[in-house]
Amino acid sequence: MPPPPDPLANIGQAALMVSETMRVLQKSGSNLVAEVLRTAPEFMEWEHLPPEDAYDGDSHSQYYYHAHPKSEEGTGPHDDEHGHFHLFLRGPGMPLEISPAPLPDAEPIDDPQDINTHLIGIGMNAAGAPIKLFTVNRWVTGETWFTADDVIALLPRFEMDTTVPSWPLNLWLTNMVTLFRPQIEQLIRERDAAIAAWQEHHPDENAYEDRRLEVTSSMKIGLAAHVEGLVG
């Protein structure tokens, strides 16, 4: 599969698509979170929605939505959310020249389908609107670790071109990666810097598996203002 064109030239178009999908859902009495909640009879914390995740067999993009319990102190990294989307790309969708990072505890992976990398998390409020972008440590998603440069190179390959569980939601997620590409790149680089700093201060621990380090970078976003600034 040839590499897709650089999406930075299409940010304005992505802004329009993001706005249009949300408009159509609102007109239909739905929203982005409602679209994924209807894939299960009951929404439970930690449960992946849709069940067994959403997957595009052509691009090998994948995502799921879930929620964390609120912390007792009210200061947890996800206390401001209803839940969040985790976006991934699996091995068959990656170019051959990109390989997992050579970490000391990395194990060989024979089947490309067993390779996956987390691209970005998108925090949502109860009204179905995005409120932040974030990255996470390796233990959070059990991902295959790639360097920041390689994850950034994979961003244009995320495309959910299916109707399951929701065509508007899939279009929205695909275009959000394009719309916020500069911000996502920044967060991915901050992710690597945060883990390097953690390892330096905790030399006897494996920083990638340290449960004390969960969210490695985060940025609040205001979608309406961002889109307005791009399309006027």
Q: Dump pLDDT digits (tens) for 80-89.
A: 999 999 999 9
pLDDT of residue 76: 79
d(CA 228, CA 12): 10
Gap between the Cα atoms of 129 and 87, Å rounded: 16
Model confidence pLDDT, tens digit, residues 132-180: 999 999 999 999 999 999 999 999 999 999 999 999 999 999 999 999 9
Q: Report the distance separating Cα 86 and Cα 203, nearest Å.
A: 29
Mind giving me the DSSP string for 94-111? Answer: S-TT------TT------
H helical segments located in 41-122: none
Q: Quote the tokens at residue 49.
A: 């929605």
Edge-first strand order for the sheet with 215-220 is 49-56, 61-66, 83-90, 116-124, 130-136, 215-220
What is the model's pLDDT at position 60? 98
CB atoms within 10 A of CB 47: 14
Tell me what pLDDT residue 78 has: 87
Give the CB-side neighbour count of residue 5, counting CA atoms within 13 A.
5
Give the chain's residues under pLDDT 50: none
Question: How far apart (Å, rounded) are the C-alpha atoms in residues 212 and 171?
Answer: 34
Report pLDDT for 5. Answer: 56
Nearest to 3 by CA among 89, 87, 88: 89
- Closest to 117 in 3D by CA, of 157, 168, 83: 157
Is residue 218 a contact partner of residue 183, using CB atoms and an 8 Å limit?
A: no
ω into residue 165 within 30 of 0, thus cis? Answer: yes
Please tell me the pTM assigned to this model.
0.94
Tell me which residue of 161, 165, 139 sits closest to 64, measured CA to CA: 165
